[in-house]
Amino acid sequence: MQTEQASYAYDVSRTGHADGAVPAMAVRSVTLDVVAGGTTALVGPTGSGKSTLASLVLRLIDPDSGVVRLDGVDLREVARGGVPEVGSLVAQQTFLFDDTVRGNITLGVEATDEEVWHALRVAQADGFVAALPSGLGTRVGERGTSLSGGQRQRVALARAVLRNPQLLVLDDATSAVDPSVEQAILAGLRESGHGLDDTPRTTVLVVAYRMATITLADDVIYLENGRVVDHGTHEQLLARCTGYASLVTAYAREAAERAAVLADEDRLDAQGVDS
Ligand SMILES: Nc1ncnc2c1ncn2[C@@H]1O[C@H](COP(=O)(O)OP(=O)(O)OP(=O)(O)O)[C@@H](O)[C@H]1O
Ligand SMILES: [Mg+2]
């Protein structure tokens, strides 16, 4: 996946997102080369353009200027709606239908149970699905309300994995999943690729908010204000990019604080103290 001088501004007059007529430049002249078959983390403060860049590489939007290519092909030459066959997006907000687990994963695509279970395994969802009263045949309820947020996210991830995408974009897709499970998902994605031996591995682009997730990536892209500030390994960026270093240090601090609060609650629970 490559972008060359790609820029995108939201039409604020249409969305009414901001006052005044100045278009919000969300992605500014971004030139990137994302290594095929690897895992690349997209890191940056809120509003830095991560989701916009994710939308560009999946052709949910077209750049105002510049080019986005997948396998050397300008995405604008791919029919709109053709990109879902090569690329899949899993976002934070997932949509499940009032259907079975199986139906929510296949969405009408032909698949054997074995293939569905493989996708569930990669998404770290096989355990809880196997424990449901009717396994794959269990209905998830309207909008999947019978599942937890983290379980819904993993079903949505299995849906994407089943499609064997060439490019898988995870935009905060595992925010409700335990950090250790998130790591297992990413490790599984890089090991098994997308499961079939004769096809190239899935390229994973993950918008990452946890230090542990970032360190699993082969490559990190650091964005600020719509621009790529630095691109390299986590260690390289940590050493040479102060904006990056302070952001990921803040993520690590937040994670440690959350873990301490949870441990405290566990301790109080163990003592039988009401919280
Ligand atoms: N639909 C929209 N209309 C107008 N401006 C938008 C729209 N979506 C995003 N923006 C603006 O574009 C810029 C980039 O937003 P984007 O959602 O890509 O950031 P992000 O890095 O994904 O942030 P976050 O970490 O909060 O998800 C921001 O300034 C944002 O306010
Ligand atoms: Mg975003």
Instruction: For residue 5, report the distance from its CA to the centre of ligand 2, in Å.
Output: 21
Residue 161 lies in a domain: no
**Domain that includes residue 82, residue range:** 2-87+167-271
Ligand 1 pocket: which of 51, 214, 229 to mutate (most atoms within 8 A of CB): 51
Ligand nearest to the CA of 44: 1
pTM recorded for the entire structure = 0.89
Ligand nearest to the CA of 52: 1
Give the pLDDT of residue 107: 94
Give the pLDDT of residue 153: 95
What does the angle CA 166 – CA 170 – CA 174 come to, to the nearest 5 degrees? Answer: 135
Instruction: For residue 47, report the distance from its CA to the centre of ligand 2, in Å.
Output: 7
Give the pLDDT of residue 197: 55
Residue 124 lies in a domain: no
CA 66 – CA 85 distance, rounded (Å): 23
* CATH, residue 65: 3.40.50.300
Report the nearest-CA residue for atom 18 of ligand 1.
49
Instruction: For residue 223, report the distance from its CA to the centre of ligand 2, in Å.
Output: 12
Ligand 1 atom nearest the C-alpha of 172 is 27
3-class DSSP assignment, residue 169? strand
Tokens 């996708």: give the residue.
Answer: 119
Residue 111 lies in a domain: no
Q: CB–CB of 170/206 below 8 Å?
A: yes
Give the pLDDT of residue 102: 97
Instruction: For residue 44, report the distance from its CA to the centre of ligand 2, in Å.
Output: 9
Residue 130 lies in a domain: no
Give the pLDDT of residue 195: 47
Report the nearest-CA residue for atom 26 of ligand 1.
46
Report the nearest-CA residue for atom 5 of ligand 1.
10
Give the pLDDT of residue 114: 96
Residue 147 lies in a domain: no
CA 152 – CA 144 distance, rounded (Å): 7
Instruction: For residue 120, report the distance from its CA to the centre of ligand 2, in Å.
Output: 25
CA 202 – CA 187 distance, rounded (Å): 12
The series of mean pLDDT values per 10 residues for the chain, 275 residues long, is 95 63 83 91 97 93 94 82 73 90 95 96 96 95 85 95 91 90 89 57 91 92 97 97 97 88 82 63
What does the angle CA 223 – CA 25 – CA 252 come to, to the nearest 5 degrees? Answer: 25
Ligand nearest to the CA of 49: 1
Q: CB–CB of 91/55 below 8 Å?
A: no
Report the nearest-CA residue for atom 13 of ligand 1.
26
Residue 51 lies in a domain: yes
Ligand 1 atom nearest the C-alpha of 17 is 4
Name all residues whose Cβ lies below 6 A of ligand 1: 10, 12, 15, 17, 24, 26, 44, 46-52
Residue 95 lies in a domain: no
Give the pLDDT of residue 258: 85
How many domains is the chain built from? 1
Nearest to 82 by CA among 166, 156, 195: 166
Instruction: For residue 105, report the distance from its CA to the centre of ligand 1, in Å.
Output: 29
Ligand nearest to the CA of 55: 1
Report the nearest-CA residue for atom 17 of ligand 1.
51
Residue 145 lies in a domain: no
